[in-house]
C-alpha cells in the first residue's frame, strides 16, 4: 500500500484523482492537501484525511509530506473574468493577487518538489497541460500569465530534481465518464500541431484520474513525460485497460 499526498485536491480534476485513489484502499492510503476546509467538506463530506495549507507558502508543506511515498501535484493557477464583457467585446481575464502562474504553477510546484525531496518521497506525479511548447498558445495570453510557459518550467525542474517522476499532460479536459475510450499518448504537443484525423486534443477528467492511479502503480510510468488525449467514444476501438502497455510507449525527458 502506497501513502500518497494529492495537492490541489479540491480542484475539478484533483478531487476526481483523490476520490479515485480512495476507491482503492488496498493500493493507496491517501491524504489531500488544499487551502479551503469548507470546500473539502462540501466535496468529500468531511475534512478528514486532509491537510490545509498553501503551496505558495512552503512552510505549510513539510508536515503534509511526513510519511508520504508518492506526491501527486494537481495545483494550478486559475484565471477569472475581470467583468462581464460588453456586447461585441472579448472577455478579459486576470489572476487574483498571489495567484499568478509564476507564483502558483512554477514557484508553488517548485516548493512542492523541494519539499518532496527533503521528505525522501519516492515518486512525484505531476499533472500539467498540453501546449507548453507553443509560446503563442491562447492560454498564455489569459491575464498575461504565460501559464503554460511556467508549467513547463516546473516540469523541467522536476526532471532535474533527481526524484522519480511521471509528468502527465492532458489535452482539453472533458466532464464525461471515464473508462469508455482509447487513450493516446504523445510528446511535444504533436496532438496540437498535427492532430490525428477525427480525434480532438481532449480527454475526460475521469480518464486523467485513472491514468494517475495507474502511473502510481506501474514501473513503466517511472521517469516518463507524455501528452494524453482520447479517441471519441463512438470511434474508440476499445477502451484502454492495459496501462503498462500505454506507458511503455512513452519516453523520458520533457
Q: CB under 8 Å to 116, separation ≥6 — which residues? A: 65, 68, 71, 124, 163
Concerning whether 161 is annotated as a catalytic residue, the answer is: no
Nearest to 29 by CA among 67, 74, 63: 67
Cα–Cα dist 227/151, whole Å: 14
C-alpha distances (whole Å) from 86 to each of 80, 141, 142, 143 are 16, 20, 18, 18
Which one of the listed residues 76, 129, 218, 230 is annotated catalytic?
129
Residue with cell 505558495: 56
| Burial track 14-52 (b if 16+ CB lie within 10 A, e otherwise) | bbbbbbbbbeeeeebebbbbbbeeeebeebbeebeebbe
Residue with cell 510528446: 187
Helices (H) and strands (E) in the chain, counts: 9, 12
Just list the catalytic residues.
129
Amino acid at each position: 500500500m502506497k501513502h500518497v499526498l494529492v495537492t490541489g485536491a479540491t480542484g475539478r480534476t484533483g478531487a476526481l484523482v483523490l476520490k479515485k485513489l480512495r476507491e482503492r484502499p488496498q493500493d493507496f492510503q491517501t491524504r489531500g492537501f488544499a487551502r479551503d476546509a469548507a470546500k473539502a467538506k462540501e466535496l468529500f463530506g468531511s475534512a478528514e484525511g486532509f491537510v490545509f495549507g498553501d503551496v505558495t507558502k512552503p512552510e505549510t508543506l513539510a508536515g503534509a509530506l511526513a510519511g508520504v511515498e508518492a506526491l501527486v501535484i494537481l495545483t494550478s493557477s486559475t484565471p477569472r473574468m475581470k467583468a462581464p464583457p460588453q456586447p461585441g467585446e472579448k472577455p478579459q481575464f486576470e489572476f487574483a493577487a498571489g495567484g499568478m502562474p509564476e507564483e502558483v504553477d512554477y514557484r508553488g510546484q517548485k516548493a512542492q518538489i523541494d519539499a518532496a525531496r527533503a521528505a525522501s518521497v519516492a515518486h512525484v506525479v505531476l499533472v500539467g497541460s498540453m501546449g507548453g511548447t507553443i509560446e503563442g498558445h491562447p492560454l498564455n495570453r489569459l491575464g498575461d500569465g504565460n501559464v503554460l510557459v511556467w508549467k513547463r518550467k516546473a516540469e523541467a525542474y522536476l526532471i532535474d530534481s533527481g526524484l522519480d517522476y511521471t509528468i502527465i499532460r492532458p489535452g482539453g479536459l472533458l466532464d464525461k465518464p471515464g473508462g469508455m475510450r482509447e487513450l493516446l499518448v504523445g510528446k511535444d504537443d504533436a496532438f496540437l500541431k498535427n492532430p490525428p484525423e477525427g480525434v480532438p486534443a481532449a480527454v475526460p477528467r475521469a480518464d486523467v484520474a485513472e491514468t494517475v492511479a495507474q502511473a502510481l502503480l506501474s514501473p513503466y510510468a517511472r521517469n516518463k513525460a507524455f501528452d494524453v488525449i482520447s479517441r471519441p467514444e463512438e470511434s474508440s476501438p476499445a477502451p484502454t485497460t492495459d496501462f503498462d502497455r500505454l506507458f511503455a510507449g512513452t519516453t523520458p525527458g520533457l
